[in-house]
Structure 1
Amino acid sequence: MKTLTRHLLISSIAATGLLISGFSTAKSAVWKVSKGDEFIYVAGSIHILPPKELPLPDEFNQAYKQADILVLETDVPAPSDSSAQLTMLKTLSYQAGETLSSKLSAKVKQQLEEQLAQYDMKLSELDSFRPFMLSVLIMSLELQKQQLMGEGVDSYFAKLAKRDKKEVAYLETVAFQLDLFKQVGSQDENAFIESLLTQISSYQALYIAMLNAWKNGDMQAIDELTLMPLQEHDPNTYQMLIKQRNLTWLGHIENYFTNSQKELLLVGTAHLAGEDSLLGLLKNKGYVIKQLNTGEK
């Protein structure tokens, strides 16, 4: 069963060949959104991308070259920014005297300790972390073990924009995103961690399935892999992480059509799939949505 944790992990911050269509006619995860003569590009990001997936599909680079402004979800702090990293760590950790293990059953606590031991880590070293922080750490360690770790599409273009001195804008503040992540798993830590542990063995398969869906611009597969299970198992988190943010972002996006510049909007691919997708919201507002195809002129 597709449970909450694995879909949250791959959605936030995405192995089966059935998801792969022929690359000669494959669609991409890049769309041209237009109204009259005005247009912007909207593209889906994978936040963890193996180095072997570079270079990116041509559609991404074409959209980037035509854009005056790169728009990202938020300004992710650099690892060298010690102040920002400390703020993130503090926000995603419990206050003094509060621990994750105190919220877990004896059985789940033991299972977590056994899993961390596989990475030569101890729960006592991580006991102050909130559920989301711990889940991201474990996911990263597991994907690294499978040699699937790498910088995300958004990170790749952020570096490119800095090199090219291209303007970069953001849809959210770092503080806003951290507050969202702080709430993930906080209502039932035991259930969250238990679900996390039961899904570790399927991380690789789920990730590869999402990666294939992303490469082919298959938003139906993204919906089935991430959003539909999230809606079923935790509709409140779906509302908070996906639906409400899409609605808020819609206002920002519409403003991009009022200037003379061209934007490339890059957001997590899950935001472009499902019944509440950004693309669907824009279409309902009268914008013309065109998915770019590989090799299309």
Structure 2
Amino acid sequence: MKTLTRHFLISSVAASGLLTSGFGAAKSAVWQVSKGDDYIYIAGSIHILPPKELPLPVEFNQVYKQVDTLVLEADVPAPCDSSAQLTMLKTLSYQAGETLSSKLTAKVKQQLEEQLNRYGMKLSEFDSFRPFLVSLLMTSLELQKQSLLGEGVDSYLTKLAKQDDKELAFLETLAFQLHLFKQLGSQDESAFIESQLAQISHYQHHYAALLDAWRNGDMQAMNTLTIMPLKEHDLLTYNMLIKQRNLTWLSKIERYFTNHQKELVLVGAAHLAGDDSLLGLLKNKGYAIKQLNTDEE
């Protein structure tokens, strides 16, 4: 169980960004953001991508080739880094004697037990984990069950960047992310887990819609299917996971317009949707936003 947990933790921890509509011309999940003659690229990522979705849409590789620096949310350690895995697991677990099940209502505890049983797991194997980690692991188990578990856009492009000796930069530290994830769900564990269980019950359809919206660069669908439900059912998580991080990232992204390099900023696609999106924040500050078409060179 520990080996399985560590694998899922590494592959899922960046899943901070929590999906069909048609366009006259096929749009992409990549945007050019300009200030005068200077510009950078911002792209939406899917942190866990089924193998069948590779290779990436052509515009990702076209833009990647043009930039000097790949900017990611955080420096997530490789699965082979056992020391980092243990640190992450420890941070997202309760202290000795504290359990998740003791914080759940009898109804939600039973629902969680039943869901884990469907994966051949027992609650006792997860009971020391904090709510967000349990949510990540359930998502990974569901994706594995449906043969959809694979490396994400971030991981794929990071490997290319390292091979090509491109510079890597990060919007936040891994320590910050883990502190954030540690807090999520801590205000009302039952409500948080119940919400996650509701999503898992129809996850196959939801995930297919997510992939479709991502490939089309359809941020209206992304807003409808991810941002709006999160704001309605868990406003605190939305503010912590999406809104506040976007505001913090904005000032960091603006600094990339003061150098002589070209950057590709890669963030979870949900951060590019809704009223508080990074793209909206940049537009409000006077930056020109251009969504790339899939046939653009």
TM-score, length basis structure 1 = 0.92
- How far did residue 230 of structure 1 move? 1.4
Aligned to 1:94: 94
- SS of 2:42's partner is strand
Cα distance change on mapping 1:273 and 1:11 into 2, 3 Å: farther
TM-score, length basis structure 2 = 0.92
Mapped pair 1:59 → 2:63: no
For residues 86 and 153 of structure 2, the distance between their equivalents in structure 1, rounded to whole angstroms, comes to 24
Aligned to 1:242: 242
For residues 82 and 289 of structure 1, the distance between their equivalents in structure 2, rounded to whole angstroms, comes to 41
For residues 173 and 59 of structure 1, the distance between their equivalents in structure 2, rounded to whole angstroms, comes to 28
For residues 280 and 198 of structure 2, the distance between their equivalents in structure 1, rounded to whole angstroms, comes to 34
Aligned to 2:16: 12
Aligned to 1:133: 133
Mapped pair 1:193 → 2:193: yes
Aligned to 2:156: 156
For residues 14 and 207 of structure 1, the distance between their equivalents in structure 2, rounded to whole angstroms, comes to 10
Mapped pair 1:40 → 2:44: no
**Conserved in 2, the CA contact under 8 Å of 1:11 and 1:226?**
no
Q: Which runs of 5+ in 1 are unaligned?
A: 1-8
Cα distance change on mapping 1:178 and 1:10 into 2, 3 Å: closer
Mapped pair 1:229 → 2:229: yes
Query: Could you say what the CA RMSD is over the residues aligned between the two structures, in angstroms?
Result: 1.7
Cα distance change on mapping 1:223 and 1:283 into 2, 3 Å: same
For residues 233 and 122 of structure 2, the distance between their equivalents in structure 1, rounded to whole angstroms, comes to 30
- How far did residue 104 of structure 1 move? 1.6
For residues 115 and 248 of structure 2, the distance between their equivalents in structure 1, rounded to whole angstroms, comes to 38
**Conserved in 1, the CA contact under 8 Å of 2:17 and 2:242?**
no
- How far did residue 228 of structure 1 move? 1.1
- SS of 2:201's partner is helix
For residues 141 and 255 of structure 1, the distance between their equivalents in structure 2, rounded to whole angstroms, comes to 39
Aligned to 2:285: 285
Aligned to 1:21: 22
Aligned to 1:265: 265
For residues 166 and 196 of structure 2, the distance between their equivalents in structure 1, rounded to whole angstroms, comes to 39
- How far did residue 85 of structure 1 move? 0.7
For residues 14 and 177 of structure 1, the distance between their equivalents in structure 2, rounded to whole angstroms, comes to 14
- How far did residue 164 of structure 1 move? 0.8
For residues 98 and 269 of structure 1, the distance between their equivalents in structure 2, rounded to whole angstroms, comes to 34
Aligned to 1:120: 120
Aligned length: 285
- SS of 1:44's partner is strand
For residues 170 and 14 of structure 2, the distance between their equivalents in structure 1, rounded to whole angstroms, comes to 21
Deviations 1:25-75 (A, max 9, x none): 210000011111111000000011111111111111111000000000000
For residues 166 and 206 of structure 1, the distance between their equivalents in structure 2, rounded to whole angstroms, comes to 35
- How far did residue 200 of structure 1 move? 1.9
* Structure 1 residue identity aligned to 2:67: A
Aligned to 1:296: 296
Deviations 1:248-274 (A, max 9, x none): 111111110111000000000111111
For residues 167 and 139 of structure 1, the distance between their equivalents in structure 2, rounded to whole angstroms, comes to 31
- How far did residue 20 of structure 1 move? 4.5
Cα distance change on mapping 1:10 and 1:147 into 2, 3 Å: farther
* Structure 2 residue identity aligned to 1:120: G
- How far did residue 278 of structure 1 move? 0.7
Q: Which runs of 5+ in 2 are unaligned?
A: 1-12
- How far did residue 123 of structure 1 move? 1.2
- SS of 2:32's partner is strand
Aligned to 1:218: 218
* Structure 2 residue identity aligned to 1:112: L
Q: Which moved more, 1:234-243 or 1:155-164?
A: 234-243
Aligned to 1:107: 107
* Structure 2 residue identity aligned to 1:240: M
Q: Which moved more, 1:151-160 or 1:199-208?
A: 199-208
For residues 11 and 137 of structure 1, the distance between their equivalents in structure 2, rounded to whole angstroms, comes to 11
For residues 125 and 212 of structure 2, the distance between their equivalents in structure 1, rounded to whole angstroms, comes to 36
- How far did residue 11 of structure 1 move? 6.7
For residues 218 and 245 of structure 2, the distance between their equivalents in structure 1, rounded to whole angstroms, comes to 22
Cα distance change on mapping 1:10 and 1:83 into 2, 3 Å: closer
- SS of 1:43's partner is strand
**Conserved in 2, the CA contact under 8 Å of 1:14 and 1:214?**
no
Cα distance change on mapping 1:11 and 1:137 into 2, 3 Å: closer
Q: Which runs of 4+ in 1 moved over 3 A?
A: none
- SS of 2:202's partner is helix
